Amino acid sequence: MAASLAALAVSTMTVAQTPGEWRYVIATDMKNIPADMRVNFPTIDFKVCRSADDFASGRAFALQTLASSADRCPSTDFERTPLLRIAPGAAPAGAPEGIRFRYACDGGKTLDGSAQGRVGPKRFEITLESRYIPASQGIERIKQQMTGTWLGPCKVKPDADALKVTGK
């Protein structure tokens, strides 16, 4: 019985991400992208106001994180795991967690993939491995890195769609 309760305590512990304004950067790994196609995969940089519920539900980690596309590429099979292997309930506040989920855009008709990474209260790093359905301009699979950094209290309006696209 005690072991069952300890396992339950570990499975329900989560690191709360800090609500507020977050900066997102989504960059594509270009090593498998032909040089003449790289212009089609720019780095995307934006800020968005996130609530505690956005993080708890997984919405804040979805591939398409802007308000206008939140329902377009929903996340499923959202799973968090402790990264520290210590006694149940003894993880220090703010200890990073592992995160995994799957996503599909347009009901899986245009893109699907899986994601995994690390999350903490004020930063996350997630690797996205996507597959275009059908292949887009000869490219079927891409790998992207999505990072999020907490900036402070919200300055942008909730669910704003302000973003910057760079050729990095």
Q: pTM for this one?
A: 0.77
Give the chain's domain count.
Answer: 1
Beta-strand (E) ranges in 4-71? 20-28, 43-50
Say if residue 148's pLDDT is above 80.
Answer: yes
Between 121 and 9, whose confidence is greater?
A: 121
Q: Is the dihedral of CA 96, 101, 104, 107 positive or negative?
A: negative
pLDDT tens digits for range 33-68: 989 888 888 999 988 888 998 888 888 888 765 555
C-beta separation of 113 from 96 below 8 A: no
Q: Pull the structure tokens for residue 82.
A: 């402790």
Name the more confident of 149 and 80: 149
pLDDT band at 128 (very low <50, low <70, confident <90, very high): very high
**Cα–Cα distances in angstroms (integers) from residue 92 to residues 13, 55, 81, in the given order:** 11, 19, 14
Dump pLDDT digits (tens) for 84-122.
Answer: 665 555 555 667 899 999 998 888 899 999 999 999 999
- Which residue is associated with the tokens 């990072």? 147
- Structural domain boundaries enclosing 102: 2-166
Q: For 91, left (φ over 0), alpha (ψ -120 to 50), or beta?
A: beta
